[in-house]
Structure 1
Amino acid sequence: MVELKELQATDELEQVWEESTENPVLLFKHSTTCPISAGAFKEYHAFLDSAEDNLAGYMVKVIESRDVSNEIADKTSVKHESPQIFLIKDKEVLWNTSHSKITVDAIKDALKRS
């Protein structure tokens, strides 16, 4: 099981980027007002509950922490969407997807390919 941590400040995002050099990082952008995001978040959470510990799991609430969400878009050069998930390793985005494509199986497949 992987503990889910919430990012609320841009300096925390810098720490996540550094952490990705030691372990793969999953970063989820979540809209707390969107039912599609709620469904994707359940998938993400289900994945983390069954995942091994050699992975880090993070979440950003896009409305409440807009500056962090915007920084992710800038840092990754990936257009903002929510919900959206990123697999980051060695400070590089290896995979990302959004909306209903965020599933337990899609996350597992992305990690196998990384």
Structure 2
Amino acid sequence: MGILKSLFGSSEASKPKNNLNWIALNSIEQLDEIEQKSNSKYQAIFKHSTRCGISSGVLRQFERQEDTGEVDFYLLDLLSFRQISEEITSKFGVMHQSPQLIVLKDGAVVAHGSHYDIMSVKI
């Protein structure tokens, strides 16, 4: 096993580094809090489907960016909390996609993107 590890690396070393401090989005009530917090700081919601290869790939890419502390990042597990996604559509007027990034400032959506376009969303 040691020689294989040296040839191919350990599974820990091959995992991409997560630079973001995710906040789990797991209640509809948090949406009001996110909206309020957006008055002083950007808030970003990443909708993620744990069964989707595209979603997992985009999430790994997204997590490689540096967390400057200027944005609060929320991660929504769509399989566990689909009703929250439906409320986001209703509350903020952004049609559901997966994966999807929604950025709020001053109580309003200022940017959003889905699939590979997430990487070009400017915060």
TM-score using structure 2 length:
0.80
Deviation readout 1:65-92 (Å, 9 max, x if unpaired): 0111111111111110100001110111
Structure 1 runs not aligned, ≥5 long: none
What displacement does 1:51 show?
A: 2.3
Of structures 1 and 2, the one scoring higher in RCO (CA 8 A, sep 6+) is 1
Other-structure match for 2:12: none
State which of 9, 18, 21 in structure 2 corresponds to 1:3: 21
Structure 2: tracts of 5 or more residues without a match:
1-18
2:58 maps to which residue?
Answer: 40
Amino acid in the other structure paired with 1:85: L
Q: Which deviations, in whole Å up to 9, do the C-alpha atoms of 1:47-69 show, x marking residues without a partner?
A: 2xx12112111111111001111
SS in structure 2 opposite 1:80?
coil
| 1:6 and 1:58 in contact (8 A); partners too | yes
Q: Could you say what secondary structure the match of 1:102 adopts?
A: helix
Name the aligned partner's letter for residue 62 of structure 2: Y
Q: Is the 8 A contact 1:4 1:59 kept in 2?
A: yes
- Looking at structure 2, the residues matched to 80 and 16 of structure 1 have their Cα atoms a distance apart, in angstroms, of 18
Task: Give the Cα–Cα distance (whole angstroms) in 2 for the partners of residues 17 and 100 of structure 1.
Answer: 25
Which amino acid in 2 is paired with 1:10? I
Secondary structure of the residue aligned to 1:33 is coil
Per the alignment, residue 28 of structure 1 pairs with 46
Aligned-residue Cα RMSD (Å) equals: 1.2
- What is the alpha-carbon distance in structure 2 between the residues aligned to residue 3 and residue 92 of structure 1? 22
Provide the identity percentage: 28
- Describe the superposition over 1:24-46 as per-residue Cα deviations: whole angstroms up to 9, x where unpaired: 01110000100000011112211
Q: Report what 2:34 is aligned to.
A: 16
**Matching residue of 1:73:** 89
Q: How far is 1:2 from its partner?
A: 4.4
Q: Distance in 1 between matches of 2:67 and 2:117?
A: 19
Structure 2 residue identity aligned to 1:83: P
Q: Which protein has the larger Cα radius of gyration, Structure 1 or Structure 2?
A: 2
What is the count of residue pairs matched by the alignment?
A: 105
